[in-house]
């Protein structure tokens, strides 16, 4: 029953890596007073601001219920504003505040700080890992 050996499971490696990465981010994000999921939403908004919630959900791949809670927390921290569309009140628009834009400056060194914690992986290996991980994600069933 080799197929059930934990050492043969790629998914378990992704699980362990995800937890390790989140732990590595925690002290960096704690300084900013945000969580990793909040950071992900902010990164999406730093790329494209003033978008609807559906866009953020697609961009971040965060579950709708979880995203609602994240957006509420970011509003409470005065990093974003959420407003109803004038054409359709069911559609909510999300826009960074001045504090949200300032957070981009405050967070700008985080990717380099995190990369410095990862030893013995070349830039080419990082690129390959990203490509292969994207391939795994693209080929998993969407729920």
Side by side, the strands of the sheet bearing 51-52 are 51-52, 92-96, 80-84
pLDDT digits (tens, 9 = 90+) for 14-30: 999 999 999 999 999 99
Q: Which CATH architecture has domain 2-118?
A: Orthogonal Bundle (1.10)
Residue-level pLDDT at 95? 98
Cα Rg for the chain, rounded, in angstroms? Answer: 18
- CA angle 17/119/131 to nearest 5° reads 55
101-133 pLDDT, tens digit each: 999 999 999 998 988 788 888 889 989 999 999
CA distance 138 to 143: 12
The pLDDT tens digits for 40-82 are: 999 999 999 999 999 999 999 999 999 999 999 999 999 999 9
HSE-CB at 62 with a 13 A cutoff on CA atoms is: 23
Look up residue 2 and give its two tokens.
């080799």
**In angstroms, rounded to a whole number, what is the distance separating the alpha carbons of residues 30 and 107?**
11
Q: Which residue has the higher pLDDT, 31 or 115?
A: 31
- The band of 89, judged by pLDDT with boundaries at 50, 70 and 90, is confident
């Amino acid at each position: 029953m080799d197929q059930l050996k934990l050492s043969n499971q790629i998914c378990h490696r992704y699980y362990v890596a995800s937890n390790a990465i989140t732990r590595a981010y925690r002290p960096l994000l704690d300084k900013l007073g945000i969580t990793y999921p909040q950071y992900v939403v902010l990164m999406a908004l730093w790329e494209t601001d003033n978008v609807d919630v559906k866009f953020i959900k697609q961009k971040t791949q965060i579950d709708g219920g979880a995203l609602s809670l994240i957006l509420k927390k970011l509003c409470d921290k005065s990093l974003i504003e959420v407003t109803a569309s004038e054409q359709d009140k069911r559609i909510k628009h999300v826009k960074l505040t001045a504090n949200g834009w300032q957070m981009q400056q405050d967070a700008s060194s985080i990717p380099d700080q995190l990369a410095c914690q990862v030893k013995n992986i070349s830039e080419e290996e990082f690129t390959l890992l990203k490509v292969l991980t994207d391939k795994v994600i693209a080929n998993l069933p969407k729920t």
